[in-house]
Structure 1
Amino acid sequence: MRQSWKTWRGLFGGLILACLPLASLAAAELPRASQLDAEARQAARAGAPLIVIFSRADCSFCQTIKRDYLQPLAADPRYAGRVVIREIGQDTEAPLTDFSGRPTTHARFAATEKIRLVPVVAFYGPGGRKLHESIVGARLPDFYQSYLEDAIEQSAKALKKP
């Protein structure tokens, strides 16, 4: 009986450990884009860009960028009420209204934007105007936060220009 309990406890513990990566993947979710032009106008009213991460469900780098940079950014008091962050799944057929008000899907919009490799973090203004160069890939972790903050500040300045 003692050996049986140890065996089950070991199997159960191993199962929990095996599921931890899945739990961390689920924890790194952001709101899905649905109405891009409305979301970009909402961000512009707050003086910031619409930040869109193009991702895939099977992309561990995407999960890292969402979990370690974008989610904390949304919670940062310096950006509270300013940033609007949305996710577009390159691998999903979720419905989406593009910047022109036309219905499309996440996958088709990503293809239209020529997104091939993910993660890509893009910065948009109303009408789909690109406000800053996209951040492609995970880049250097020690500097990613700086890249992101610089892109947001430069995008906010670009919003003020006609």
Structure 2
Amino acid sequence: MSQLNAVTQDLMTRRTYVSRLGLSLTGALVGLPLLSQAAPAILPAATSLPDELEKALKAKEPLIVMVSLAGCPFCKMARESHLSPMQKQGFPIVQVDMRSELPVKGFNGQMQTHDQCVKQWRVSIAPTLIFLGPKGQELVERMEGGYLPDFYGAYLDERIALARKSLRS
């Protein structure tokens, strides 16, 4: 009988182990999407366009303003894949949000909301990138929409090169 108890005990230990292993793996798989999501890329919100432009021009760069919309997947792609890494390397980029009540000082010296600024610029598509130079003038054609993800970086590089050329002429 003791041999039967030992076999039963061994079988119960194996079942417990397999059951606990299954629960552990299930828990890990449920939590996996949370681990794979990195912190979202964030660009600094524009607070004073004249000051931000002045810093950009001192660095001999155009100021890139990303007009964004909360929840926009194309905005997220542009921000995470291109703009945030550039901004971390020191490139002057700020974000203005459609429908946002955040205050921003405009080029006329007046305070307005991000949304008012977007309407003043007549932006209706997110994302839109605006490349600004002296006195807040647009240096090159805007980048509107998401473009093809594989080519977004190439279009962005081209616009930056043209904006730099315009600054130097």
TM-score between the two structures when normalised by the length of structure 1: 0.82
Give the distance between the partners of 1:158 and 1:11, measured in 2 at CA. Answer: 56
Which of 52, 58, 80 aligns to 1:39? It is: 52
Instruction: Give the C-alpha shift of residue 141 in structure 1.
Output: 2.1
1:53 aligns with 2:66: yes
Give structure 1 regions of 4+ aligned residues with deviation exceeding 4 angstroms: 1-9
SS in 1 for 2:100: coil
Q: Return closer, same or farther for 1:20/1:127 CA change in 2, 3 Å cut-off.
A: farther
Deviations 1:104-143 (A, max 9, x none): 0111111111111201111011321001111111112222
* Larger fraction in strand: 1
Larger radius of gyration: 2
Runs of 5+ consecutive residues of structure 2 not aligned to the other structure: 1-15
Instruction: Give the C-alpha shift of residue 91 in structure 1.
Output: 2.6
State the partner residue of 1:111: 119
State the partner residue of 1:123: 131
Instruction: Give the C-alpha shift of residue 27 in structure 1.
Output: 2.0
Which of 2, 6, 14 aligns to 2:30? It is: 14
The letter for the 2-side match of 1:62 is C
State the partner residue of 1:156: 164
Give the distance between the partners of 1:20 and 1:97, measured in 2 at CA. Answer: 38
Say if 2:43 and 2:87, in contact at 8 Å, map to a contact too. Answer: no
Q: Return closer, same or farther for 1:62/1:7 CA change in 2, 3 Å cut-off.
A: same
Instruction: Give the C-alpha shift of residue 63 in structure 1.
Output: 0.6
Which of 119, 131, 135 aligns to 2:143? It is: 135
1:69 aligns with 2:69: no
The letter for the 1-side match of 2:95 is E
Identity of aligned residues (%): 31
Q: Return closer, same or farther for 1:14/1:86 CA change in 2, 3 Å cut-off.
A: same
State the partner residue of 1:146: 154
TM-score between the two structures when normalised by the length of structure 2: 0.79
Q: Return closer, same or farther for 1:46/1:63 CA change in 2, 3 Å cut-off.
A: same
How many correspondences in the alignment?
153
Say if 2:139 and 2:163, in contact at 8 Å, map to a contact too. Answer: yes
